[in-house]
Structure 1
Amino acid sequence: MAGFNQKNKAPDRRLHLAHPLWCVCMAALLASGSAAAGDLDTSTGPDGPVEEFSADYFACQDEARGMAPAMQKCVDAELVLQQRHMNDALGRLQQQLDQRSVSLLQASQAHWADYKNSTCSFHHRVNKSAMAPLEVAACHLDATMERAALLRHWQR
């Protein structure tokens, strides 16, 4: 998810919060004990506020100690939690809207889900590393957290 550096027209390859590898790298860093959960600023991403990971997620990643199967379970559990947060935000937003806006929101949500699934599937297709399944799960998690933040933003 590299951006484009307008100054020198070169790709911007810095990792940011939306990049699926960011989650994997930070999880490994936390598992190694090199950083504490409080050291992370997940409050903003490239497109606005991003929900923070749960305390259970950090504890799980710490217990995983960088082992991919255990890390996968942590990401999967966090995804379930973050999907619930996103669905709660979607429901609250729908209650604030007129019927036409609700229909547009539902169509937007369906298109977003298709986009997320195809983007994360493509990521898996082009990434041949042993960590690909974990990175794909992180892709779904990051996208879900960003979407939940956007839905909460629209509630204002």
Structure 2
Amino acid sequence: MTDDLSRAGLQLGQPTPLPRSPEEARLDRVPNPHPDTDYLARFTVPEFTSLCPVTGQPDFATLVIDYVPDRWLVESKSLKLYLTSFRNEGAFHEDCTVKIGKRLVALLEPRWLRIGGYWYPRGGIPIDVFWQTGEPRQGVWLPDQGVPAYRAR
């Protein structure tokens, strides 16, 4: 299996250094084994971090990424490496959240995608950021993202 993965050029199954920035990070995709079926795939990232672009202090969030795949799925190791690359990235909460959503849409061309960025307070104010590609697919079960409104999460 590892030989098949390395021939496919995937990072999965290979020693992979951490990317220094989101721009350097490579996202891999794999064929969807059920392209004829509408279903929801979810990634929950409870320990996302980036840096405040003004102070350089760390910012923390829970990200929830939901998408209805078409031909492609995001390969999870590459997604983890991409998201980890934000640990050295100075960006506002809104920029991080929307940038991740747009990058996934460009890679996957999903039928639908939404991302919720549930950021912990900075200066006493939590900032939650939500972005999606349009109306959800009819007939696809969209569970609540499961992150409560801020009340000392």
Do they fold alike, i.e. is TM over 0.5?
no
Name whichever structure is richer in strand by fraction: 2
* Superposition TM-score tier, normalisation by shorter sequence: under 0.3
Name whichever structure is richer in helix by fraction: 1
